[in-house]
Amino acid sequence: MCGIVGYVGHKSARDILLTGLKRLEYRGYDSAGYALQNKGSLLIRKCEGRVSDLESMDPGDAGSSTVGIAHTRWATHGEPSIANAHPHFDQAGRIAVVHNGIIENFMTLRKELTGSGVTFESETDSEVLPMLISQEVAKGKKLFTAVKDALVKVHGAYGIAVISADEPNTLVAARYGSPLVAGIGDREYFVASDVAAIVSHTRDVIYLEEGEVIEVNLEGIQSDNGHPALIRERIEYVDWDITDIEKDGYPHFMLKEIYSQPESLTNAFRGRLDLVQGTAHLGGLQMSEEDMRSISRIVITACGTSWHAASIGKYLIEAYARIPVQVEYASEFRYRDPVLSPDTVMIVISQSGETADTLAALKLAKERKCRTLGIVNVIGSTIARETDAGVYIHAGPEIGVASTKAFTSQVMALILIAFALGRARHVLNRKQGLELVREIMAIPDKVSKILENSSGIAEIAKEFTYARNFLYLGRGVNYPVALEGALKLKEISYIHAEGYPAAEMKHGPIALIDEMMPIAVIAVKGAAYDKIISNIQVVRARHGRVLAIATEGDTDIESVSDWIIRVPEAPDMLIPLLTVIPLQLLSYHIAVARGCDVDKPRNLAKSVTVE
């Protein structure tokens, strides 16, 4: 949560920081601020609200400043306000800090600091940082050493950037549990919590390691983590394009990302399908066929939309590979005493690769000596690096807070994993494998077709702008799709929505049904079709109004539905990749019709790096 940008160079720091913050706004958008080194002191601007509000503040003579730090916040400790906005300062106003993460022992530190005469301006945990650093500087230490020594007293998670009015052209940054990346340009250097903030300036980056502290000045980057020369060897090249993080003519990132799914799905399976042997190859898993045959149990853990993908993964792996799979909310898993043994494979799914609960669940599995595999989008993210092996989904940057293309790519990665396991374990034969390869490769065109024919969804959405509640029903592998449809609607339109296994409805939610309650039913042709038609009949008998997600050419559905959105046919196990698309579009259009801020829904942030 929260976004950090820092700059040391020869250009206007304010401009670079503001552009960077705009690219990070998906991480938090309730308040923002910057601090610049300016003629021997610090020039500070902070506001409640968006980065655009910060931009419209009088910059004073910020134009001459070439060093600074900035922050966009998602409140954890203390409401969104100017006082709680970052940067935070020491009492003399000479040291400024921006922080992402949580200082868990901040109460104790605050008490100690207050006891020694320090006065705090904010309610945040972060404000202890400049105070602690200032105490170390007062002992005669340079900023770099002062930051290192101050951080020894801190428990929790942090990505920080620090500047001092007394050390011109110098910025110190550190990370522990919150991501931080340093960018290397032409006589200019950047730090940011996400590459998106700096990719328009440089593609040469270094991902800070856990616990690492760096000093950035006009001569380069120095780390406390080994010899300075090693920094050059750690440079990685960011291979995605700036257009990936721009709206590209779409009104919202979410819509752009929904429409990019034919391409992102292709990227997820590109180079991974074997058209001769009829299998999938995932080198990143680092598993031999023998390893795959020896797995006795799989646990998949994740949060939110990634948990819904995990739930589809259970159906896939059990059907294709006959391995028992347990799916766990990472936030629950981490706080119980789960039964895990070294023959358990733990799969961790995360778009951002930074979700705190998922990371904690991963750490628990590692302590219990499980083999851990990641299904991650963000390259070089903490979960990608902490897992033993894994699969990148290659969806490209996902900016919309509501996850769409990452979800379908996660499901695609799970299909490939289930496929590879199924072939290695001889549950699927070569003929079945070749058929599956063909079906997988046909998916992007089928998604394109849904998107091309989707103009009616915006019309249907208008019917539902009034709705206060919404029910989503599905069976089998489409049950997690129903959950995902409901989550999408809740997140961006603020309409209460619930996903339910269709047959469970009669055990309770049926009481909610009346003519005011729209019910989206995933009623595609397949194993559960007849059953789901019966479930629809039950709904209609109670005057519920049914929006069916149905298969092209199915005429039987017409007599039992008020609205129909069609998807092409696909094998049962691949169908979530199609059925979810109309639900993504439906929630998008409902939210737009209700005037909601689709890309920045209230109270949410893209990456939840706090518990």
Sign of the Cα pseudo-torsion (481, 483, 484, 490, in order): positive
491 binds ligand AGP (CB under 6 A): yes
Nearest distance from C-beta of residue 548 to ligand AGP, angstroms:
24
Residue 211 Cα distances to 122, 146, 557, angstroms: 26, 15, 58
Among 351, 454, 493, 584, which residue interacts with ligand AGP (rule: CB under 6 A)? Answer: 351
Distance, CA of 41 to CA of 448 (rounded, Å): 55
Q: Which of 271, 79, 33, 39 is nearest to 165 (CA)?
A: 39
Residues binding ligand AGP: number (CB under 6 A): 15
The two structure tokens encoding residue 534: 């019966």
Among 401, 418, 539, 598, which residue interacts with ligand AGP (rule: CB under 6 A)? Answer: 401
Site string for ligand AGP, 28-67 (x = CB under 6 A): ----------------------------------------
Number of H-type helices and E-type strands within the chain: 19, 26
Burial 142-152 (b: 16+ CB within 10 A, else e): bbbbbbbbbbe
Binding segment for ligand AGP among 130-138, 189-197, 344-352, 537-545 (CB under 6 A)? 344-352
352 binds ligand AGP (CB under 6 A): yes
606 is catalytic: yes
Identity of the residue, 304 or 476, whose beta carbon is nearer to ligand AGP in the bound complex: 304
Which entry of 22, 46, 256, 606 is annotated as an active-site residue? 606
Pairing of strands 3-8, 189-192: antiparallel
The two structure tokens encoding residue 84: 């709680």
CB 266 within 8 A of CB 446: no
178 binds ligand AGP (CB under 6 A): no
Binding segment for ligand AGP among 81-89, 222-230, 348-356, 534-542 (CB under 6 A)? 348-356
403 binds ligand AGP (CB under 6 A): yes
Residue 325 Cα distances to 285, 315, 418, 484, angstroms: 17, 8, 11, 20
Nearest distance from C-beta of residue 293 to ligand AGP, angstroms:
30
- Name every residue whose Cβ is closer than 8 Å to that of residue 510 and which is 6 or more positions away in sequence: 538, 542
Identity of the residue, 303 or 536, whose beta carbon is nearer to ligand AGP in the bound complex: 303
Among 305, 409, 493, 587, which residue interacts with ligand AGP (rule: CB under 6 A)? Answer: 305
Q: What is the DSSP string of 317-380?
A: HHHHH---EEEEEHHHHTTS-----TTEEEEEEESSS--HHHHHHHHHHHHTT-EEEEEESSTT
411 binds ligand AGP (CB under 6 A): no
Binding segment for ligand AGP among 43-51, 167-175, 300-308, 465-473 (CB under 6 A)? 300-308
Among 42, 273, 287, 303, which residue interacts with ligand AGP (rule: CB under 6 A)? Answer: 303
348 binds ligand AGP (CB under 6 A): no
**For binding to ligand AGP (CB under 6 A), which residues are involved?**
303-306, 350-352, 355, 358, 401-403, 491, 607-608
Catalytic site positions: 2, 606
